[in-house]
Amino acid sequence: MIARGFAVDPTDGVAEIAAKAEAQLGRPARVMRFGELDAAGRYDAIWASASLLHVPRRDLPGVITRIHRALKPGGYHFASYKSGKAEGRDRFGRYFNYLACAELESIYGETAIWDVLDVSEGIGGGHDGAQGPWVQITLRRPL
């Protein structure tokens, strides 16, 4: 994104990972969890690849509301999640919300008004090296 000329505001909820991002990007990366996002109409897009999947299900609607509020009208949001039907922990002890496609669409639809551009399912890998189902969603905040 940076190479294509986008102004980015890199964040991570874990200080150690934010520091690695700073080193790789050569620019500051803020330590911030999605529940701390407190912007209004600031962003053209919010990209959450394999990150919101760590938000507990009970907290996800509030986080999605914050993302919607932080976007400019016409702003885009992308998120990817490991797919499944229950929340739980992987073999490393990391929490995942494992959302099915229909449940993901329902959560987004109940939290804010979105133009849903794409919802798709596929197979992908994770930190553990195992392949499994994933679901991706791309939306736009209406003008």
Complete DSSP assignment for 43-86 = EEEEEETTSGGGS-TTTHHHHHHHHHHHEEEEEEEEEEEE--SS
Q: Give yes or no: residues 27 and 39 share one domain.
A: no
Q: What is the pLDDT of residues 83-135, one digit of tens each?
A: 998 899 988 898 999 999 999 999 999 999 999 999 999 999 887 788 889 99
| DSSP element (H, E) containing 136 | strand 131-140
The CATH number given to whatever domain includes residue 48 is 3.40.50.150
Neighbours of 5 (CB within 10 A): 6
Q: Give yes or no: residues 103 and 123 share one domain.
A: yes
The total domain count for the chain is 2
Do 102 and 116 contact (CB within 8 A), yes or no? Answer: no
d(CA 26, CA 22): 5
Q: Give yes or no: residues 69 and 50 share one domain.
A: yes
Q: Give yes or no: residues 24 and 51 share one domain.
A: no
Q: Give yes or no: residues 10 and 65 share one domain.
A: no
Confidence (pLDDT) at 127: 77
Q: Give yes or no: residues 26 and 53 share one domain.
A: no
The fraction of the chain above a pLDDT of 70, given in percent, is: 100
pTM equals: 0.91
Q: Give yes or no: residues 117 and 52 share one domain.
A: yes
The fraction of the chain above a pLDDT of 90, given in percent, is: 83
Q: Give yes or no: residues 50 and 111 share one domain.
A: yes
- Identify the domain containing residue 79 by its residue range: 35-140
Do 12 and 28 contact (CB within 8 A), yes or no? Answer: no
